[in-house]
Amino acid sequence: MPLSTLPTTSDAPFVPSSPVPSAGRRSELEVAGELLGLLRDTTTEPRPDSQLEALTLAVAADLPVLLWGEPGIGKTAALTQLAESLELPLTTVIASVHEPSDFSGLPIVGDDPAEQGVPMAPPDWAVRLVRAGRGLLFLDELSTAPPAVQAALLRLVLERRIGALRLPPGVRIVAAANPRSSAADGWELSAPLANRFVHLHWAHDHEVVVRGLGGTWPRATMPSLDPEKLPEAVAYARRAVCGMLAARPKLVHRLPSSETRRGGAWPSPRSWDMALSLIAFGTAAGSDREVLSQLIRGTVGDGPGLEMVAYLDRMDLPDPEQLLADPAAAELPERGDLRQATLDGVVAAVRNRPDRARWDAAWKLLVRAMETGAPDLIVVPATTLASLRQENWDVPETIERLAGVVGLSQRADRAAGRVAAGAKAGR
């Protein structure tokens, strides 16, 4: 074919692959955008959620929080919803894609470095947070940050400093991480960085997910602190932590031996100080035992945390002397373990200061415990109390009301022992 007959660019006009929408007609992308908008149109509702309450309480206490959870569990969505509920601007920083200098500051050479030095300029997101004066800084994918970046994050997490800039008090820090086994090229958290966080293990609730996919998610709200309880809450928290550590001095600082456990919560003076703050905030907010347990264990570790929770339970027990002074008006705890500990404390008080009137009052308390709770809880205290009787003390009439319960329990124990012995002999 001659060159003169070949089509040129001007001879072949562009033909769109799809027809251009006429005036008044929306494009397919616009319709798709409307559908996406409907899918994203969700609402929130107040709903009891212990892990969400623990998160908001730690945020209120201005402590850095680290959410641990498998990929896709909803950590990022929870933080986004938290920022919206608290009306805080959300700034997300993926730690693993930044250099250490992004957190420690970039050196900027001025006009006279020898005279003025070389200042460390902060990144743009830090400047925006300072200008806003408030916000939620979300450090995502923390477990994929290499050790050098983790080292640069130490000052940011603890002192809120980036280069020469200091974040204002209105900024809260929350991070999220996947376990190393499920993280993309994951690292274990260094012990110094891990010890600066309140570690919360994020898990999905089936009912929350189903209702949320239906369009209604739980609402994150800041805890309501009772102004009249603030001094009392601080005194209670200090008395609890100091009393616990006075009895268990080895728990003041215990660095785990394994690298994996060092990357979680473990006890140190710093983490005990955070636990003290959380106990004070939880007490002022009237938080339940489950929320406090999550926060304390997420600060000093599971073992010391459970001991601290048990110590708080014992602090809430009624004074044995007050119970002995007026057994008829005594109010015993509802929970079985706390009631058992209360009765044991009453018997111990009688043992430490034996007196006929106190011994009689203790029997009245045991009768009240039998009438208002599980009868089997009185067996051990009643047996111990009976052994404290002196020769010139008459047996009180109230003991007859307990004899049947104690005798039945003892017969049941003997029967169980015979069954166990028979089974052992059969083997």
The confidence score (pLDDT) of residue 4 equals 47
Whether residues 59 and 84 fall in one domain: yes
Highest mean pLDDT among 36-40, 197-201, 419-423: 197-201
Whether residues 160 and 287 fall in one domain: no
Show the tokens assigned to 124: 């743009």
Strand 165-166 with 170-177, pairing: unpaired
Nearest to 362 by CA among 324, 400, 401: 324
Whether residues 308 and 186 fall in one domain: no
**For residues 87 and 184, which has the higher predicted lDDT (pLDDT)?**
87
The confidence score (pLDDT) of residue 1 equals 47
**For residues 117 and 350, which has the higher predicted lDDT (pLDDT)?**
350
Task: Tell me whether residue 29 is in a domain.
Answer: no
Task: Tell me whether residue 268 is in a domain.
Answer: yes
User: Which of 195, 218, 241 marks a domain boundary?
Assistant: 218
The confidence score (pLDDT) of residue 408 equals 40
The confidence score (pLDDT) of residue 216 equals 85
**For residues 401 and 61, which has the higher predicted lDDT (pLDDT)?**
61
The confidence score (pLDDT) of residue 121 equals 79
Nearest to 52 by CA among 291, 409, 368: 291
User: Which of 315, 339, 359 marks a domain boundary?
Assistant: 315
> Averaged over 169-175, what is the pLDDT?
93
Contact 324, 361 (CB under 8 A): yes
Whether residues 335 and 304 fall in one domain: no
pLDDT, one tens digit per residue, over 244-276 is: 999 899 999 999 988 888 999 999 999 999 999
Domain count of the chain?
Answer: 3
Strand 43-45 with 216-218, pairing: parallel
Choose the weakest-confidence range: 182-186, 260-264, 296-300: 182-186
Contact 364, 329 (CB under 8 A): no
Cβ neighbours of residue 418 under 8 Å, at least 6 residues apart? none
User: Which of 163, 191, 218 marks a domain boundary?
Assistant: 218
Nearest to 71 by CA among 166, 178, 157, 165: 178
Please, what's the b/e burial string for 34-60 (b: 16 or more CB within 10 A of its CB; e: otherwise)?
A: eeeeeeeeeeeeeeebbbbbbbbbbbb
Strand partners, 217: 44
Whether residues 170 and 58 fall in one domain: yes
Choose the weakest-confidence range: 58-72, 121-135, 181-195, 380-394: 181-195
Number of helical (H) and strand (E) elements in the chain, helices listed first: 19, 11
Whether residues 285 and 144 fall in one domain: no
Nearest to 346 by CA among 327, 326, 323, 329: 323
Task: Tell me whether residue 409 is in a domain.
Answer: yes
pLDDT, one tens digit per residue, over 216-249 is: 888 878 888 989 999 999 999 999 999 999 989 9
397: left (phi over 0), alpha (psi -120 to 50) or beta: alpha
**For residues 422 and 350, which has the higher predicted lDDT (pLDDT)?**
350
Contact 149, 112 (CB under 8 A): no
The confidence score (pLDDT) of residue 316 equals 79
**For residues 359 and 410, which has the higher predicted lDDT (pLDDT)?**
359
> Averaged over 142-165, what is the pLDDT?
88
> Averaged over 167-180, what is the pLDDT?
90
Distance from C-alpha of 350 to C-alpha of 369, rounded to nearest angstrom: 17
Nearest to 149 by CA among 169, 118, 177: 177
Whether residues 166 and 126 fall in one domain: yes
Amino acid (one-letter) located at 25: R
- Give the CATH number, domain containing residue 96: 3.40.50.300
The confidence score (pLDDT) of residue 409 equals 42
Residue 2, pLDDT above cutoff 60: no
Asked whether the CA dihedral 153, 91, 37, 49 is positive or negative, the reply is positive
SS3 of 210, please? helix
Task: Tell me whether residue 379 is in a domain.
Answer: yes
Whether residues 68 and 143 fall in one domain: yes
Whether residues 57 and 203 fall in one domain: yes
The confidence score (pLDDT) of residue 293 equals 95
Whether residues 360 and 393 fall in one domain: yes
pLDDT, one tens digit per residue, over 361-387 is: 888 888 888 888 777 788 888 888 888
Residue 411, pLDDT above cutoff 70: no
Count the neighbouring beta carbons within 10 Å of the beta carbon of residue 245.
18
Strand 90-94 with 134-140, pairing: parallel
Whether residues 179 and 239 fall in one domain: no
The confidence score (pLDDT) of residue 185 equals 63
Choose the weakest-confidence range: 36-40, 129-133, 245-249, 387-391: 387-391
**For residues 19 and 401, which has the higher predicted lDDT (pLDDT)?**
401
Mean pLDDT in the chain? Answer: 83
The confidence score (pLDDT) of residue 45 equals 83
DSSP string, 123-188: PHHHHHHHHHSEEEEEEESGGGS-HHHHHHHHHHHHH-EETTEE--TEEEEEEEE--GGGSTT--P
Task: Tell me whether residue 141 is in a domain.
Answer: yes
Through-space distance between the first and last CA atoms of the chain, rounded to whole angstroms:
102
**For residues 122 and 21, which has the higher predicted lDDT (pLDDT)?**
122
Whether residues 141 and 52 fall in one domain: yes
Q: Which domain holds residue 170?
A: 44-107+119-218
DSSP string, 159-174: H-EETTEE--TEEEEE
SS3 of 216, please? strand
Task: Tell me whether residue 306 is in a domain.
Answer: yes
Task: Tell me whether residue 19 is in a domain.
Answer: no
Distance from C-alpha of 278 to C-alpha of 55, rounded to nearest angstrom: 11
Task: Kindly state the percentage of the chain with pLDDT values over 70.
Answer: 84
Task: Tell me whether residue 198 is in a domain.
Answer: yes
